[in-house]
A = this chain, B = another copy of it.
């Protein structure tokens, strides 16, 4: 990485960014949280170069953030799933989303809303359910739904369609 690494930094933020700080990486992780798991689907959703996506996925596999499972032979094709370590990034993803909602809003409103699974209440920026008051720590207790600002092609709309 030629002088642009954070490895001299004794800091857990720097260590995190070594793993997930590269451009596109957090959006790849977002896609896997939304259930977009296949190379072709991620590539189409993000519109990034295939070689960049390949490099980012390999980095995330090496660092045990993603794991892959084969779903097809000849040619071998894989789906990408979040490991426990990867699922642990949900608070990062949620807080980036909440900050964007507040300070860099989409013209049509929030594209995606995190809800409390089973309860249906919306989660606020602190991940507290606005219906029942529970603090939600795990992405397994949350469900993302399309919001009023979801544009055509939004992953949650494509899935529903």
Residues of A within 8 A of B (CB): 3-4, 6, 8-19, 21-24, 26-27, 30, 46-49, 85, 88-89, 91-106, 110-112, 125-128, 135, 137, 149-151, 153-154
Contacts and interface: CB of A to CB of B under 8 A. Distances in A.
A70 B117 CA distance: 49
Contacts of A150: 10
Closest 9 pairs between A and B when the two form their complex, measured CB to CB: A12-B100, A16-B100, A91-B95, A10-B151, A15-B104, A15-B100, A16-B96, A92-B95, A12-B97
Contacts of A89: 99
B47 A101 contact: no
B15 A106 contact: yes
A7 to B, nearest CB: 11
B126 A103 contact: no
Contacts of A12: 96-101, 104-106, 110-112
Contact of A111 (B10, B22, B104, B128): B10
A153 to B, nearest CB: 8
Contacts of A103: 16, 85, 88
Nearest to A46: B9
A96 B29 CA distance: 14
A17 B21 contact: no
Contacts of A94: 95
B8 A30 contact: no
Contacts of A135: 126, 128, 135
Given A13-B26, A16-B104, 13 more contacts: A9-B46, A12-B97, A14-B27, A16-B99, A23-B23, A88-B103, A89-B99, A91-B91, A91-B125, A95-B95, A126-B135, A126-B137, A128-B135
